[in-house]
Structure 1
């Protein structure tokens, strides 16, 4: 079989292209014998096709309910778009196998705009919708939309509104912390969580914004961080557990957890620490003094699921 000889020529996307060459195609690496091409046009076509499928509800595998509206979507597309949806549809969350999932904290019209961005990469930001979009995008961890809204915000700042902008951004940070902690304490298996410094972890675990089932989640999250590198981190156990509201927890449950710890010195330290709390709770006089000194330790967090707690014995 005879071989074909190709004369040297400029590849598509190079300076030698004419107007008739394939648009949106570039060469990432090139040699005399081969070239690796990248097509931005292909990526846009795939995204457009997935959006058409969404609008026709083709291959949609979950419904999202926001208020009175329901949106049919593809789990894969949304999970790829944000860590929020990736966690929501993963095996660790109760929503993973549901056909319909309720999304709280976002208005349907705002979510519709964000959904259009997820499937098209385009978003219309206005003075009227910027704040709602930024808050919702932050909650849903659509970081690209948050960045876009931030750029829009910078272009509209002036001395007359800078204080209001500062207060708004402060609220955004609080929401980010709240949501981050909600995910970490629900799943608590991410490299980012393990990588927190001691100071960062303590600051986060003190937050009133923790969306938790009960205070035991805070205790186990702190201990999971310690046990991830027990040799180096066990010396920090007292500081890391300081934010835990031990009066809201069952001593029996805590001692049972401690019995399962294999590191002897850590187990002894925890037993000693817990005995200090339980001794306080046994004495009404000391318990009263403890509640006066640390009132925050005696009440559930603001965003915790509301239960009736019985403190003491």
Structure 2
């Protein structure tokens, strides 16, 4: 008996929706109009108020739209509004990847939570290389954490194919770096992605991005044979210096024998070409440099030769084989 009652209730609900839809199709007893651009949708206030919190608030508070009998919706896709109206009358929706962004925006505005859930479910079940960035972006925008995680995993797993598409260029610098760090030692893919993104965005943004690359995670042979010969790197003196430095460290840390040879390699590096900030923040704090008297002496000689050394080296004391070298500078 209970099953019959449930079935009858469902049938009745469907019949009510179906009857309202027939009335709408024949423009019968419609008492409200939704206007979007040059399109108009004649609807029934009672149904919209029952299904949509947006319209319930509009009608129950006697807003000007309720008194006028129409609402003008701006900055919204007319087709998406039409899809929302159809959903309110049928309970059905057939989103596509081409329309889902506009449909989501409209359903979110009208507070049609079920339709929004249908859209998110559709995106999760139709993830592809072509649309995964869109899915990830919409999941973040509407705070769908689970879908965002699924999309990001898909993006990382298919990143090599993804970077060949035009949608790849829509990635922000921050997201490009984020995905690059997730690629786990796939340095060729990371560099290919960064190079293509830089080439599309322009030199200024590219130089900024180059500063964020973790060259230290790249194998030293790849740094020397692939990156240093790349035309994009050759065009950037800063990139070349940073790559050479990281390659030297990578090589030195391969074995203890290499570490013993690091001071001789360090002598061949043109420290005078490095910026003061890079020397102070990176070179000077490298353990291989700190552990070598020869390296510290070479570093001190470079700092002494700089005309503005007092700005960032107020005091240096370096122990060497021949004694203690000490420099004291007064800072402004």
**What TM-score comes out, normalization by structure 2 length?**
0.40
Higher share of residues assigned helix: 2
**What TM-score comes out, normalization by structure 1 length?**
0.42
Q: Which has the higher contact order (CA 8 A, sep 6+)?
A: 1
